[in-house]
Amino acid sequence: DAKTTQPTSMDCAEGRAANLPCNHSTISGNEYVYWYRQIHSQGPQYIIHGLKNNETNEMASLIITEDRKSSTLILPHATLRDTAVYYCIVRVASNTGKLIFGQGTTLQVKP
Amino acid sequence: DAGVTQSPTHLIKTRGQQVTLRCSPKSGHDTVSWYQQALGQGPQFIFQYYEEEERQRGNFPDRFSGHQFPNYSSELNVNALLLGDSALYLCASSLADRLYGYTFGSGTRLTVV
């Protein structure tokens, strides 16, 4: 079973910041938070990952609470192309082993 | 730089038949994983291959088998197809010693009738 809880769906206005929450209250000390998204009819796309510090890349920012029990993915200026299902995944940092996907959050960016 | 390539993109098979799906990993990647995604669900891990060996397996029956070739490409075979095997089959590649995310292909849509 997935170790994360996400809202089923969210809406965001185009050009505004999209803030996607994720709860992972049972996260272990050596587990990272990964975010992927899946645009309709495509495979999942890696967005960002972090351990305890906030992270930023060209796609998004990841804010992890101090107790690491929750995190927020921020898309600073959402566009229509950001409409997708966003998955929050907790796992040991590795490029081996499985990803356990939950249901994810369907983000709808509206004009 | 070519990403992960999967073939075919769509496939229709009859119940009881066998199917083979193919995956070419991203250039430079040596590890291939396969996932099954039913409609409206998140992807479910089937198995992972590294150095031509199955390294980890999810909760799938033996009807699901795979292979990795010396050039790191991979095949997923499903025998005795059931209607419930209808899904999007995703291949993901990675580099074993790097700490970054997987690269996924666009998948093969399998319909069993």
Q: Residues B65-103: pLDDT tens digits?
A: 999 999 999 999 999 999 999 999 999 998 876 666 789
**What is the per-residue pLDDT across B42-55, written as a single tens digit (0 to 9) for each?**
999 999 999 999 99
Interchain CB contact of B24 with A (< 8 Å): no
Kindly state whether A111 is in contact with chain B, defined as any CB-CB distance less than 8 angstroms. no
Q: What is the nearest CA distance from A12 to chain B, expressed in angstroms?
A: 21
Query: A89 pairs with which residues across the strands?
Result: A34
The string of pLDDT tens digits covering residues A22-69 is 999 999 888 889 999 999 889 999 999 999 989 999 999 999 999 999
Tell me the chain B residues in contact with residue A100 when contact means C-beta distances shorter than 8 Å: 45
**Look-up: residue for tokens 């921020």?**
A74
- Identify any residues that bridge with A73 across adjacent strands, giving them in sequence order: A20, A62
Q: Which two tokens stand for residue A71?
A: 């995190």
B20: amino acid identity, one letter:
T
